[in-house]
Structure 1
Amino acid sequence: MPDYNVYKKGDKWVGEKEGASRASVTGDTQAEVYRETRDLSQRNGGGEISVHGVNGQIREKNTIAPAKDPRKTKG
């Protein structure tokens, strides 16, 4: 389960997987980037998202559950 960070970089907000060299998600608002990062995390098996304020400090952490597979069939 990959973990992600949402933080401000320059004039944009970014959602970045821990250890990645570039952002997975970018946008103009923290809320927009958080939603897209949450959806990405769900699709990739869940994980934890750390939301940083404009000062760079973590202000909240959220554990994201894996997305549910809409089909109940094997394979």
Structure 2
Amino acid sequence: MASKSGGKGRNMHVTKAPGGGWRAKAEGAKRASVVKPTQAAAEKAAKASVKRAGGGEVRIHGVDGRIRDSDTVAPGNDPRSSRDTKH
């Protein structure tokens, strides 16, 4: 189980919520930080939260639960930034 990385940011996952909608949840957290009606809204909220925490990764899962995209939020260190053409 991962947790906040020593105050240097955190990682969040955007997944389908069991009761409907999409949730943004920090790694290691028991509850979602936010539940939104759309995946895009949950992703935006997750990125804002990670940015406030000092940067990190936002991992976006598809309906099937598999990670379909991952974004580094500044000031995080993206080792693959030269290949990230989506954002």
TM-score tier after normalising by the smaller chain length: 0.7 to 0.9
37, 53, 56: which one aligns with 2:65: 56
- TM-score normalised to structure 1 length: 0.84
Deviation at residue 8 of structure 1 after TM alignment: 0.1
Deviation at residue 49 of structure 1 after TM alignment: 0.6
- Of all paired residues, the percent bearing the same amino acid is 41
Q: Say which structure is richer in strand.
A: 1
Deviation at residue 12 of structure 1 after TM alignment: 1.8
Stretches (4+) displaced over 2 A:
none
1:1-75 pair list within 5 angstroms: 1-10=9-18, 11-66=20-75
Question: Which of 1 and 2 has greater Rg?
Answer: 1
Aligned length: 66
Unaligned runs of 5+ in 2: 1-8, 76-87
- TM-score normalised to structure 2 length: 0.73
